[in-house]
Structure 1
Amino acid sequence: MKNYIYYLSILFATLLVASCENELPFNLKENPPKLVINALLNADSLTNTLYLNLTGRESTTHVKEAAIEVRVNGKLTESLRPLPPQTDNDNQCRFKLTSHFNPGDAIRIDAFTDDGEHHAWAEVIVPKRLEKIINIDTLTVPITQSGYTQNYLRYRITFKDHSNENNFYRLIVDKQITATQYNDEKDEWVTQTHHDYQFIAREDIVLTDGQPSTGDDEDSGLFDTAKNLYGVFDNTRFRNDSYTMTVYNRADPLGYSSYVDNVQVVIRLSSITETEFYYLKALNLIDSDAYDETFNEPIKFPSNVHGGTGILGVSTEVSQTIHIGK
C-alpha cells in the first residue's frame, strides 16, 4: 500500500498563495520532524507489521534506532526492536507484531526513538466482527469497458449490519492464482500463488457512495469521480439491515503463461475503525485518475497518533472462498 504523508506540503501550498505583501515567516527549526506511525492491523492475523518514519521537508525519512511497546487493555504484551533489513539498501524501520487481539480490546502502541527525541502513541478499539457472509451468488456476465466487451464474474454478496451502531467496512476481493513457473535463477520449476485485488464496483450504490454509473458513463468522461479502489463503505444506506453488494472481476487466470494449477477467489468483509475508513477514502482520491495535484486542493490525511502523526488502524473480518478451478 502506498503511504502518503503531505502535512508539510500543505503548509508550503498555503505559503505560496499568500500575497507578497503578507509573507509569512517560516523557520524549519521551528517545525522539527515528527515521528510517523503507520500500521493497519488485522485482528485475525498473528503477523502484523508496523512502520516508523520521520516527517521531512519534502518527504518522510527513515528512523535508525527505535523501539515500540504494545499494550492490550492496559497490559504490556510486546516490547519490540526493528526487524533486520530485507535488503542491503533497505532502511525502512519496521516491526512484526504477534499479539492476539479480540473485538472490544483497547490496543495502545507507544513508539520511542533511542535518542530520546521522539515519543508517539496511538490507541484504538478492535471493532466488532460481522457474524458471517450470509450468501454469495455468482454469475458470468458480459461487461463493457473502454469499448471492449468481455466475460466477468459477478458477485452478489449478502451480509447483515451490526445493530444500532455507526459501522465502517471494507470489501476485499482476493483472486488467488496458483501457478507453476520456471525459475531461471534456481533452475527449477516453482509453484507460487499470485494475488489480484482488482474489482469493478461502479454499479453498487453503497460502494460508489450513492453515485452508480455504467460503462457508457465512464467512456463519456462526464462522471470523472474517484473510484473506490480500497472497497471502503459505511452503513449509512443500510443501517440495522441486511445488504446485497454487487461487484465484478475477471476470474480467469489471464496474463499467466505458466501452468495454472488452481484459481480461487476469497471474499473478505472487514469491520474497520472510523479513522481507517477516512484514511482509505483519502487514498482512493489520491490514487484516482480524478485527482490532479496541480488543480485540486491538497489532501489532508486523518491521524490518530499523539506526539507525532500517522495512523493506527485495526480490523476484524469474515471471509468466504469460491473455487473457480483452472
Structure 2
Amino acid sequence: MRTFIHYFLVSAFVLTIVSCEHELPFNVKDNPPKLVMNALINADSLSNIVFLNLTGKEHMSHILDATLEVRINGDLKEQLRPLPIESEYVIPQCQFRVTSKLTPGDVLRLDAITDDGQYHAWSEVTVPRRLAEIENIDTLTIQLSTSGYTSEYLRHKITFTDLPDEDNYYRLIMDTRLMFKKLNDNNEIVTNEWRNYNFIYREDIVLTDGQPSTDDDDENGLFDTSKNIYGVFNDSRFKNSTYTMTVHVPRYLFQDIDDRPHLSAKIDIIVRLVSITEMEFYYLRALNLIDSDSFDETINEPVKFPSNVNGGIGFVGVSTEVSRVIQILDEKEPSRM
C-alpha cells in the first residue's frame, strides 16, 4: 500500500515543497524513519525558527538531542542546540532559533545532525531579491457583497514594479493589527492585541490566476476551485512592468473597538509584499489546495508537497519583503491625573 506523507511547518505564522526527484509517496513499511526539517525564514528578521522531527507511521516523533549548523555562503555562522520546551502543555518539538543576518543573494545552508550520528539532513537555499518598494496604496471605503450580504470594506489598490529580467514569485500578506488599552477588574491598565490576515482578492486577475469573479459567481459555484488563502502569485502577467493589485479588507474587523470599553485604541493594516523562492510558491499553492473548501481527501488525489531537504524530507524557505503601514485609527490615551 502506498502512503503519501503530508507534513506541515509551524512557524510565526504556521506553514511547509519538492523538487521532482524528491517526490513522495513512498511505502512506509519499506522505509526507516526520516529526519524532517522545516522552516520558513524571513531574511528581514533576526529570529527565525527551524523545526526538527522524525517521520512515523501514525505521526511524527520528537527529536531530543541534535545540533543545527548554520552556514552562509559556506561560512559556519552558528552551531545551535534545541530550545527548551517552554511549557508542559506545549506539544514537544525540537526547535532552533536562527539569529544570523541574511541579505539577498546569500546562500543559506542548514545541517541538522542528531547526537548519535544516525541522522543528518541538510538544505541549501538562496535568499531571493527584495522588491524596491510598494510605490502607492490607494485606500477607499466601499460597499461590497459577500455571501449574499452587503457591508463596508476597505478597498486597497497596491502598486509595485516587478523585479526585472527574471522569473519572480511573490506573496501578499494583509496584516491587520488591532490594539487597545483598558482597565481590568483591579483598575490596572492592560493591553489587548488582536491580529487578522483575512482579505478578499476575487476581483484581481493575478491573485485569482486569471479567473476574477463576483459574489454572484461565488454563490453559483462557477469557480469552485482552490482558494488563494496564502496570497501567492508570480509575475507571468506583469513581467518587467508595474502592476496595481486590488484587495479588500472588511471593516467589521474593527467593530470590536467600539464594542469594548477602552482607554486608547490603535488599528493598523501592514501591507507586506514578500519575495519568495519558486519552491515556496509551489508549496504554498499546495497548501492552498489542502486548506480549501473545494478539497475533499476522500475523492481528490493526494497532494504532493515538494521537499528541498537532502538526507531527509521537509521544506526550508527563505523570503525578503517590503511593507507599508496604513493607519486606520489612533485614539490616544487621555492623560491621567
Report the TM-score when normalising by structure 1: 0.90
Q: Which of residues 290, 296, 314 in structure 2 aligns to 1:292?
A: 296
CA displacement at 1:182 relative to structure 2: 5.8
> Structure 2 CA distance, aligned partners of 1:137 and 1:8?
43
Structure 1 unpaired stretches of 5+: 12-25
* C-alpha contact 1:9 1:58 (8 A) present in aligned 2: no
> Structure 2 CA distance, aligned partners of 1:204 and 1:9?
33
* C-alpha contact 2:177 2:193 (8 A) present in aligned 1: yes
Matched ranges for 1:1-326 at <5 A: 1-2=13-14, 10-11=25-26, 28=29, 30-90=30-90, 91-180=92-181, 188-251=188-251, 252-255=253-256, 257-258=259-260, 259=262, 261-325=265-329
* C-alpha contact 2:16 2:284 (8 A) present in aligned 1: no
For residues 30-78 of structure 1, the C-alpha deviation after alignment (integer angstroms, 9 at most, x for no partner) is 3111111110100111111111111111222221211100000000111
* C-alpha contact 1:10 1:298 (8 A) present in aligned 2: no
One-letter amino acid of the structure 2 residue matched with residue 314 of structure 1? V
Aligned to 1:17: none
User: Over the residues paired in the alignment, what is the CA RMSD in angstroms?
Assistant: 2.1
Q: Taking structure 1 as reference, are residues 187 and 4 closer, same or farther at Cα in structure 2, changes over 3 Å only?
A: farther
> Structure 1 CA distance, aligned partners of 2:231 and 2:51?
23
* C-alpha contact 1:64 1:93 (8 A) present in aligned 2: yes
For residues 116-138 of structure 1, the C-alpha deviation after alignment (integer angstroms, 9 at most, x for no partner) is 11100000100010000111001
* C-alpha contact 2:16 2:315 (8 A) present in aligned 1: no
Q: Taking structure 1 as reference, are residues 46 and 9 closer, same or farther at Cα in structure 2, changes over 3 Å only?
A: closer
Query: How many residue pairs end up in the alignment?
Result: 309
Q: Taking structure 1 as reference, are residues 233 and 115 closer, same or farther at Cα in structure 2, changes over 3 Å only?
A: same
CA displacement at 1:181 relative to structure 2: 5.0
Secondary structure, counterpart of 1:298 in structure 2: coil
Runs of 4+ in 1 over 4 A off after TM superposition: 1-5, 7-11, 181-184
Structure 2 unpaired stretches of 5+: 1-12, 331-337
> Structure 2 CA distance, aligned partners of 1:109 and 1:238?
34
* C-alpha contact 2:16 2:38 (8 A) present in aligned 1: no
* C-alpha contact 2:23 2:307 (8 A) present in aligned 1: no
Report the TM-score when normalising by structure 2: 0.87
CA displacement at 1:27 relative to structure 2: 6.9
> Structure 1 CA distance, aligned partners of 2:84 and 2:15?
21
Is the deviation greater in 84-93 or in 139-148?
84-93
Is the deviation greater in 99-108 or in 194-203?
194-203
* C-alpha contact 2:24 2:304 (8 A) present in aligned 1: no
* C-alpha contact 1:8 1:57 (8 A) present in aligned 2: no
Q: Taking structure 1 as reference, are residues 227 and 66 closer, same or farther at Cα in structure 2, changes over 3 Å only?
A: same
Give the share of equivalent positions with the same residue, in percent: 55
Secondary structure, counterpart of 2:88 in structure 1: coil
One-letter amino acid of the structure 2 residue matched with residue 65 of structure 1? D
CA displacement at 1:183 relative to structure 2: 5.9
Q: Taking structure 1 as reference, are residues 183 and 84 closer, same or farther at Cα in structure 2, changes over 3 Å only?
A: farther
Q: Taking structure 1 as reference, are residues 27 and 203 closer, same or farther at Cα in structure 2, changes over 3 Å only?
A: closer
CA displacement at 1:188 relative to structure 2: 3.9
Q: Taking structure 1 as reference, are residues 183 and 95 closer, same or farther at Cα in structure 2, changes over 3 Å only?
A: farther
One-letter amino acid of the structure 2 residue matched with residue 97 of structure 1? V
> Structure 1 CA distance, aligned partners of 2:23 and 2:64?
21
* C-alpha contact 1:175 1:195 (8 A) present in aligned 2: yes
